[in-house]
Chain A
Amino acid sequence: MSDADEKSVEVPDKEKAAKTEESPPPIYTGYDLDYFVTPDDLVEAVEKLDQADFFLEDISCVDLQEGFQVVYHFDRFDQPGRVGLRVMADRQKPEIPSIHHIFPGADWHERECFDFFGVIFKGHPNLLPILLDPDYQGPPPLLKAESERKGLQDIYPDRDLTPVDVKSDKFVSEITNCSNPKYRNPL
């Protein structure tokens, strides 16, 4: 390792923080569209994404103070662009509708989410442990301790958390025209 690397370590945290505050990083987060959706609207939103030829990348879940944030990632083959759908599930009763009847590939992703967080997907035909041992008795392994749990405000400090209206034409036209800014068609 060079000397320059060593020096950078010694930069105090305060100075670093000041730097980032001066110029808020205009980072591309990897999401071309990102929505909060209510559990009741989820199926309808996913149906619209299905009609717009999206495929399901994965289903991620984050344990937060407000409950479980289940994040669905969608992308498209012909016109790439990532859409994120965020659904908040209640902690006491973590139930959200299953989307396996629209995307059969969601089956395993939902089982994994059930495994790691205990989120129940209503209507799932086969909600069994997939990666964990079926005899495992303990709490779901990715649950955070009460003291470590962060709120939505800590992670998304300046984000509008209001759910999108999936019935609106705006939502449909946004997802239909969604595209990755860096993508260029080679032809």
Chain B
Amino acid sequence: MNLDLRLDTSGDFYAQKFQPTKRDDTLILNMGPQHPSTHGVLRILLEIDGEYIVRAEPVLGYIHRMHEKMAEVMSYPQYLPNPARTDYLHALAWGWAHVGAVERIMGIEVPERAEYIRVITCELNRINSHLLWWGAYLLDLGAFTPIMYSFDDREIIMDIMQRITGSRLTYCYYRFGGVSDDIDDRFVNETREQCARMKERFKMYKDLVTDNFILRKRVEEIGEISVQTCRKYGATGPVLRGSGQAYDVRRAEPYSVYDRFDFNIPAYDTCDAMGRYMVRMDEMQESIKIIEQALDSLPQGDFIHPKAPKRAKPPAGDVYFAVEGARGKIGMHLVSDGGKSAYRLKLRAPGFSNLSLFAEVSQGTLISDAVSILGSLDLVIPEIDR
């Protein structure tokens, strides 16, 4: 036991590496890993001059669980629940990336009805994810009430999802070749009701928050990210679309039946936190549009392919499969040697790439603005740390 109680000013491994600085009038500050605005366990080392950030460096890995090793140890069906534990807010998109990669390498067909069910549930999950982001972001900026409204809406969606998927947050609903259970009339009716309700709620959200002068002061012209910066860092999702580039995997690399639906890809070229905010607010309405179209044209048939393999054993080779998650492009690089478990599974977490541009963007901003920028990136730390 170390009984030396003198203050250790040298810091840990990362702080020591970060320490050398040319100036003697700056201060090294740790933001996190338990800071409330970092939503979990993200730590950011800051060199500050007064209230201004001179340098910033995120430190990751506090909840690293080695999901990629687990994929090599577990068989394919055993790994099904794992992707949902990375990004717990948009669990279904991660599950989809995994089953999609296995379906692609094995050439498994997915029945049409199952594709529609996947689209409906994945979009419901996306709305849920954006709603939580919306509430939590405003909480970061000092507005307490909106998170109560957003949880009100989230509860209804989670109840709808719970009936068919069996869980409320970390869904494990997709299977190789379909989904685990069919949806029924009650699900369809409840989803329609909720879609109608959400449309009214969005109007209220706009009046209450989006048009609010205080919010706009905190987000407009804060954290400007150019498209070129996004490209250099590989940022995708609302971060990229908030910089004016309408890139969405659902349109760029259409998977499932997304090419059958009519929806817009919102993009704002203001490049600031407000742009990213508006993209997410509009995306929820686009998701509602997709869900309503899918419910209108929901085909009859199997919810899982009758010959879908339970014990997947893909042929040797490698594939890449990408889907659009709430935070951006989720990619899975699956390498198979013909065995029962993956030879290698690489998970591309959108948050990982999105966060990597923070060091550049935060330079010269106020600490309070850095909190706003971090929130506008919509970070889910388990996804970044994997």
Q: Which of B288-305 contact A (CB under 8 A)?
A: 304
Chain B CB within 8 A of A180 CB = yes
A163 to chain B, nearest CB (A): 18
Cβ contact within 8 Å between A63 and B344: yes
Cβ contact within 8 Å between A154 and B234: no
Cβ contact within 8 Å between B333 and A73: yes
Assuming the A-B contacts A30-B322, A131-B386, are A104 and B61 also in contact, with contact meaning beta carbons closer than 8 angstroms in the complex?
Answer: no
Cβ contact within 8 Å between B317 and A29: yes
Assuming the A-B contacts A8-B309, A183-B254, are A55 and B231 also in contact, with contact meaning beta carbons closer than 8 angstroms in the complex?
Answer: yes
Can you list 27 A-B contacts with CB-CB less than 8 angstroms, sorted by A residue number?
A4-B307, A5-B306, A5-B308, A8-B306, A27-B105, A27-B319, A29-B319, A57-B331, A58-B348, A58-B353, A60-B344, A62-B343, A73-B331, A73-B348, A103-B234, A104-B356, A128-B13, A128-B14, A131-B386, A132-B64, A134-B14, A142-B344, A154-B338, A155-B316, A155-B343, A182-B253, A183-B252
The number of residues on chain A lying at the interface, defined by a beta carbon within 8 Å of a beta carbon of chain B, is 56
Chain B 154-179 interface 0/1 with A at a Cβ cutoff of 8 Å (1 = within): 00000000000000000000000000
Q: Which of B69, B233, B335, B346 contacts A155 (CB 8 A)?
A: B335
Q: Which of A4, A57, A104, A141 contacts B329 (CB 8 A)?
A: A57
Chain B CB within 8 A of A174 CB = no
Q: Which B residues are in CB contact (< 8 Å) with A141? A: 66, 69
Chain A CB within 8 A of B197 CB = no
Q: Which of A5, A130, A155, A183 contacts B60 (CB 8 A)?
A: A130
Q: Which B residues are in CB contact (< 8 Å) with A63? A: 344
Using CB atoms, name the residue of chain A closest to B344.
Answer: A62
Chain A 50-89 interface 0/1 with B at a Cβ cutoff of 8 Å (1 = within): 0001011110111100000001010101001010100000
Cβ contact within 8 Å between B320 and A4: no
Q: Which residues of B line the A interface, CB within 8 A? A: 13-14, 17, 60-61, 64, 66, 68-69, 72, 104-107, 227, 230-235, 240, 245, 247, 251-254, 259, 304, 306-311, 313, 315-322, 329, 331, 333, 335-338, 343-344, 346, 348, 352-353, 356-357, 360, 385-386
Q: Which A residues are in CB contact (< 8 Å) with B319? A: 27, 29-30
Assuming the A-B contacts A105-B357, A141-B69, are A150 and B343 also in contact, with contact meaning beta carbons closer than 8 angstroms in the complex?
Answer: yes
Q: Which A residues are in CB contact (< 8 Å) with B316? A: 154-157
Q: Which A residues are in CB contact (< 8 Å) with B320? A: 29-31, 73, 82, 84
B158 to chain A, nearest CB (A): 25
Q: Which A residues are in CB contact (< 8 Å) with B106? A: 25
Number of A-B contacts defined by CB within 8 Å: 155
Q: Which of A103, A132, A133 contacts B232 (CB 8 A)?
A: A103
Chain B CB within 8 A of A2 CB = yes
Q: Which B residues are in CB contact (< 8 Å) with A142? A: 68-69, 72, 344
Chain B CB within 8 A of A138 CB = no
Q: Which of B253, B304, B307, B333 contacts A180 (CB 8 A)?
A: B253
Chain B CB within 8 A of A9 CB = yes
Q: Which of A122-148 contact B (CB under 8 A)?
A: 126, 128-135, 141-142
Q: Which A residues are in CB contact (< 8 Å) with B310? A: 5, 8-9
Q: Which of B14, B253, B259 contacts A80 (CB 8 A)?
A: B253
Question: CA A182 – CA B253 in complex, angstroms?
Answer: 6
Chain B CB within 8 A of A93 CB = no
Cβ contact within 8 Å between B315 and A25: yes
Chain A 1-34 interface 0/1 with B at a Cβ cutoff of 8 Å (1 = within): 0101100110001000000100001011111000
Cβ contact within 8 Å between A56 and B234: yes
Q: Which B residues are in CB contact (< 8 Å) with A156? A: 316-318
Cβ contact within 8 Å between A154 and B337: yes
B255 to chain A, nearest CB (A): 8
Cβ contact within 8 Å between A20 and B254: no
Question: CA A129 – CA B62 in complex, angstroms?
Answer: 12
Cβ contact within 8 Å between A5 and B344: no
Question: CA A187 – CA B234 in complex, angstroms?
Answer: 25
Cβ contact within 8 Å between A108 and B356: yes
Q: Which A residues are in CB contact (< 8 Å) with B352? A: 108
Cβ contact within 8 Å between A5 and B333: no
Cβ contact within 8 Å between B254 and A29: no
B79 to chain A, nearest CB (A): 15
Question: CA A186 – CA B231 in complex, angstroms?
Answer: 22
Question: CA A8 – CA B106 in complex, angstroms?
Answer: 15
Cβ contact within 8 Å between B311 and A77: no
